[in-house]
Amino acid sequence: MAPMGIRLSPLGMAVFCLLGLGVLYHLYSGFLAGRFAFFMLSEPAAGGPEIPHGSAPAGAVDLRELLAVSVLAAVRGGEEVKRVREGNVLNAKAKGKTREGAEEQLTSGDLLSNRRMFYLLKGAFPAVQINSEERVDTADQETISWDRSIPEDIKQKIQPKEVPAESVTVWIDPLDATQEYTENLRQYVTTMVCVAVNGKPVIGVIHKPFSAYTAWAMVDGGSNVKARSSYNEKNPRIIVSRSHAGKVEQVAKQTFGNKTAIIPAGGAGYKVLSLLDVAEKNQEEADVYIHVTYIKKWDICAGNAVLRALGGHMTTLTGEEISYTGSDGNEGGLIASINMNHKALIEKLPDLEKTSHK
């Protein structure tokens, strides 16, 4: 019985229930319609328009976009390197010794370039692992945005290609050839970015800050640089680190003869560019690049990717491929070439591998 003796009409109860059901139906049908519309917008039908630029699915990385921001990062880092050197405010200090006992230098150019490059890449692709030569100080953290624009030359040569974010490792060298940088040997200095997918280098960017020259390439994609038209296999010009010239010269001349030229130079990026067709007045030319000791992966990853994209090779001295996962060092030295019989080079220079352990 209703309270206070009020009796409820059966007809009124029925009308009230019908009104309630109508309200529920209206709300629920609106919800379903919204979900259906969301599904249709999120899943375009086969043959429909492409997903708009910059809207790759979560967990995926577009390598064309990553190439574009890598080029920008190398250039922005190079601006810091150039500014510090021209202002003569290097604030150089020793950060340790190499395995060979040489002092490793650290300058303001290294640190400022590193900060600019790291945070630009991290802001654009936060899910991607980034390995850098210099430590990233959280106290210096800054937000650097990327407008997601892609340069026309990259648009014309590279198609979008998505890969899982967890398969990507980015290696950045904010200032290659720091020793030469402190000595004002500017032609050797580069800033570099490399993208490895499942440990294989697929994108390489090498930028020369003091001449504003940038080489980039993507494996199975395209590049803005190419190999030279000819190389000398009988008496190759071999480019090496300035401190390794003596070690390599003896073995090379025993193998190829006394006419073999040894070119001492600084910076791994510079040495790779010496193998390519580079319109730079301060860029020497070589046929083979050799390094006989331990070397860090951020020094060589970008060059490795560029050579692979152009059909060249960079391996350990025994011919093994270099993996860009795990530790940050490569123990087996390296030999790099393009448009040459790489396997034959390794077979001709077996003593170099022994030299690398001395």
Of 110, 190, 191, 287, the active-site residue reads: 110
Does the annotation place 137 within a ligand binding site? Answer: no
Does the annotation place 176 within a ligand binding site? Answer: yes
Q: Is 214 part of the annotated catalytic residue set?
A: no
Does the annotation place 62 within a ligand binding site? Answer: no
Query: In which element (H, E) is residue 104 found?
Result: strand 103-106
Q: Which residues contact 27 (CB under 8 A, 6 or more apart)?
A: none
CA distance linking residue 168 with residue 101, whole number of Å:
33
Helices (H), the chain: 10-42, 63-87, 108-124, 152-157, 178-182, 245-256, 268-273, 297-309, 342-348, 350-355
Does the annotation place 307 within a ligand binding site? Answer: no
Query: In which element (H, E) is residue 174 found?
Result: strand 168-176
Structure tokens at 235: 């008496």
Of 107, 178, 191, 293, the active-site residue reads: 178
Question: Nearest CA to 150 among 185, 122, 127, 124?
Answer: 124
Q: Is 178 part of the annotated catalytic residue set?
A: yes
Handedness of CA 264, 270, 274, 280 (dihedral sign): negative
| Longest CA span, the chain | 120
Does the annotation place 220 within a ligand binding site? Answer: no
Binding positions are 133, 173, 175-176, 299
Catalytic residues: 110, 178
What residue numbers does the annotated binding site for Mg(2+) cover? Answer: 133, 173, 175-176, 299
